[in-house]
Amino acid sequence: MRKTLIIGLVLVVLAVAGCGGGGSSASSSGGGASSGGGQTIVSSGPNVVTMTVDQGPTCSGCNAAVDIPYITVTLCVSGTTQCQTFDHIEVDSGSYGLRVLADAKDTSGNTFSLALAQETVNGSPVVECTQFVDGYSWGPIKTADVDISSESAQAVPVQVIGDPSYATVPSACSGTGTQEDTVATFGANGILGVGPFAQDCGANCVQTASNGDYYVCPTSTCQPTTLALADQVTDPVTDFQSDNNGVIVEMPSLGASGTAVTVTGSLVFGIGTEGNNTMSAPTVLTADNYGYIRTTYNGQSLPYSFFDTGSNAYYFNDSTIPDTCLSQGNWFCPTNTLQLSASNLGQNGVQSTVSFSIANAKTVFNQYPANTAFNDIGASAGNESAFCPNGASNCSFDFGLPFFFGRNVYVAFYGALTSAGTGPYFAY
């Protein structure tokens, strides 16, 4: 569900006004830190990894980005100590599984070079077309041992995006959007999808060859294929020996300014499995079998709504808010900052009203590069045919990363038992 804004797209517009702005660096420290409203952020533990919002990976030709949370992940050739550690792996609660860019540089400055085992079907290599909202990524499926903090998963199917050995992209894939097969175009060294499901495709790819995701490539000509559930790209968190029933995204508040230079929070593994991940959220919204809740906004019922750290803004439709102040993207540009609210409803009947702000995007982005985190940016969702039945244009509300600032948000995996019930659910 990535809807990632690359700052390079708007710099031409903002250059006339110049860059400026203030803000501060929001962070947590010690065993736990209060971040307003009684929020406690766990910053240490074997099941905790630091999560940071900053300008993104440094590389030749890379555009910096805003409101993207990153962690550090180690990949190893399965069963060996041949490993590489990569920072700036994006955390995405709206997608599933681990993917790394073939041109990513590890923390020692070396380009990805692990000789990971290639997955095959009938002797032919398996390659995937991963489709995000803002583009597609193409690359083979391989297996790796994955270490995050002190948690480990063995022989996990992962995607290596942009592997030069598979340079020919089928037209059925390339026709789905903009190619994002390099660190520069992707805006990260990789992405960890921690949405409510373990695999990225599920039963559809087991049963149907024309699933749009998986291909076999015996030569440069690739053909669609079915793929067993165990061989699909998998969220490694679900394969941890413990702390594997969900995650908690813990991000501090940005304070009255609504902006910060950088932000440091935590991604905590497990819900109710350790002393540092007990359920404390007052609102638990169970999701449907596709991972959606229902949101009511401005009198409209939106049954395919979701919480997505991989989206860097609130995405929803509201024709009363101007969205044409920037040359690219339908970013909201109200004259004055708007104070809005929406009502969320879970399958369990629990209802919660949340308040949020939408500021003028041109004014907000004019603070870059001094600041990289903002809690009040939004954009029109546009035609949401990826979510809506029959190509409808208004059926979802995407609560992107701005929603997560100042909250601990729980994501319980499908079918997983937790102290607050069985997933999938979101809680905050």
Q: Which residue has the higher pLDDT, 255 or 134?
A: 255
CA 291 to chain centre: 14
> What is the percent of the chain where pLDDT is above 90?
81
Tell me the CA distances in angstroms from 153 to 193, 195, 234, one per residue in order: 15, 17, 11
pLDDT score, position 328? 82
With a cut of 80, say whether residue 375 has pLDDT above it.
yes
Looking at every residue in the chain, the average pLDDT score rounds to 90
Round to whole Å and give the CA distance between 337 and 209.
48
Exposed e or buried b per residue across 275-289, where buried means at least 16 C-beta atoms within 10 angstroms of its C-beta: ebbebebebbbbbee
What pairs with residue 40 in β-bridges?
34
Which pLDDT tens digit goes with each residue over 37-57? Answer: 468 999 999 999 999 999 999
The mean pLDDT of 124-133, rounded to a whole number, is 93
Round to whole Å and give the CA distance between 239 and 158.
13
* Number of helical H runs and strand E runs in the chain: 6, 30
Check: CB of residue 407 under 8 Å from CB of residue 307: no
pLDDT score, position 31? 39
Q: Is the peptide bond before 46 cis (omega within 30 degrees of 0)?
A: no
Count Cβ atoms below 10 Å from residue 391 Cβ, excluding itself: 9
Show the 3-state SS of 231-284. HCCECHHHHCCCCCCEEEEEECCCCCCCEEEEEEEEEEECCCCCCCCCCCCCCE
Count Cβ atoms below 10 Å from residue 171 Cβ, excluding itself: 7
| Segment of 6-20, 284-298, 317-331 carrying the highest mean pLDDT | 284-298
pLDDT score, position 38? 64
Q: What are phi and psi of 207, to 5 degrees?
A: -100, -30
Round to whole Å and give the CA distance between 234 and 360.
38
Which pLDDT tens digit goes with each residue over 384-409? Answer: 656 677 666 789 999 999 999 999 99
Round to whole Å and give the CA distance between 360 and 413.
36
pLDDT score, position 384? 66
pLDDT score, position 385? 58
Closest by Cα among 44, 38, 67, 41 to 54: 67
- The fold of the 48-239 domain, in CATH, is Cathepsin D, subunit A; domain 1 (2.40.70)
Round to whole Å and give the CA distance between 156 and 143.
5
Round to whole Å and give the CA distance between 428 and 421.
14
Total residues belonging to the chain: 428
Check: CB of residue 51 under 8 Å from CB of residue 251: yes
Check: CB of residue 400 under 8 Å from CB of residue 3: yes
pTM, 2 dp? 0.92
Angle ∠(42,43,46) on CA atoms, nearest 5:
95
Structure-block tokens of residue 78: 């399965």
Tell me the CA distances in angstroms from 417 to 9, 16, 50, 157, one per residue in order: 43, 54, 25, 24
Per domain, the residue ranges of the chain are 48-239, 278-427
Residue 12 pLDDT grade (very low, low, confident, very high; cuts 50, 70, 90) = very low
Which pLDDT tens digit goes with each residue over 20-35? Answer: 333 445 544 333 333 3
Q: Beta strands 32-34 and 40-42: pairing type?
A: antiparallel
Count Cβ atoms below 10 Å from residue 337 Cβ, excluding itself: 14
Which pLDDT tens digit goes with each residue over 137-155? Answer: 999 999 999 999 999 999 9
Question: What does the longest C-alpha to C-alpha distance in the chain come to?
Answer: 60
pLDDT score, position 364? 93
Closest by Cα among 330, 48, 343, 84 to 190: 84
In the block, residue with structure tokens 């736990």: 32
With a cut of 60, say whether residue 133 has pLDDT above it.
yes
Residue 17 pLDDT grade (very low, low, confident, very high; cuts 50, 70, 90) = very low
Task: Point out the least confidently predicted range of 21-30, 109-118, 308-317, 370-379.
Answer: 21-30
Task: Point out the least confidently predicted range of 3-7, 235-239, 279-283, 334-338.
Answer: 3-7
